[in-house]
Structure 1
Amino acid sequence: MLLEDQLCFALYAASRAVTAVYRPLLDELGLTYPQYLVMLVLWERGSLSVKEVSTALHLDYGTVTPLLKRLEALGLVSRRRRTDDERGVEVALTDRGRKLRERAGGVPVELGRAFGLDPADRGALRDTLVVLTRSLTDHAQAAGRRSA
């Protein structure tokens, strides 16, 4: 089968192209793409546990923790032990982190233009990708159970 016929290659190339559009926009904010995703979750949902951030982003705890440490060093978030469970860490936006949301407001608009799709087609593509992600995740989990 040809490379151009591979769905996985089309997804990989699209992902790289999306990240390339994000890069200069996020450079202006002083964020990497993964840091931007963390900020999006916090802007949307408010303070969360590290576990909740990990779950929302489909990332493991070991990947999210360094992102949060960098965002904390930038003064955008604070991390503190939960009072109800000392094992848990709560992540909250700082004033600086909340203010950054205003500067980031144009990012989704610019990405919408870059996609070159009308809103309905963007929504349909997103929905298809959500189904694809769920199916692949379920498949990987089932394969892991079979090999255990």
Structure 2
Amino acid sequence: MKDKLCWIMSSDRVTCIYEGTTPNILITDLDVLRNVLIKDSHVFINRRTIEGAAGPFEHGLTVLKDEQWENARSIVSPTFSTAKLKAMHSLMNDASDMYNQRLLDYADKQTLNNLNRISQHFALDTIGSCLFGIETNSLQNENATLVKHLFI
């Protein structure tokens, strides 16, 4: 039965894969993915269950089911409209350019000690500018007040 299911599902656009004994659908075509996630989202409500999600992760968007997912989606969807994403694009590019420059500076000096820390600063700069409209400049100034309070 499993082989037959995967044979029916297999194509260049949609493939059936197994995670252990559980069949999963892997969508590789962007048009099909757009239909599933946006146009026909009312039909494809639930995603696969992620075992072991605890604390704040057990209520994340990726694990919500049924009516909880529909409610959360109706709240979150306007945030990711095409116009808003286009407006954030330049802000994300600016943060990315600064991140790349910082990495190049470290590469030239051969002093890269903590890539995780630099990535945290990049995330802070991106989130700060896109969500809150503030320039944290944490990639340029690791000793900024906000950085000191967030990264103890």
TM-score (norm 1): 0.22
Structure whose residues are more often helix by fraction:
1
Highest RCO, 1 vs 2 (Cα 8 Å, sep ≥ 6): 1
In our comparison, the structure showing a higher alpha carbon Rg is: 2
TM-score (norm 2): 0.22
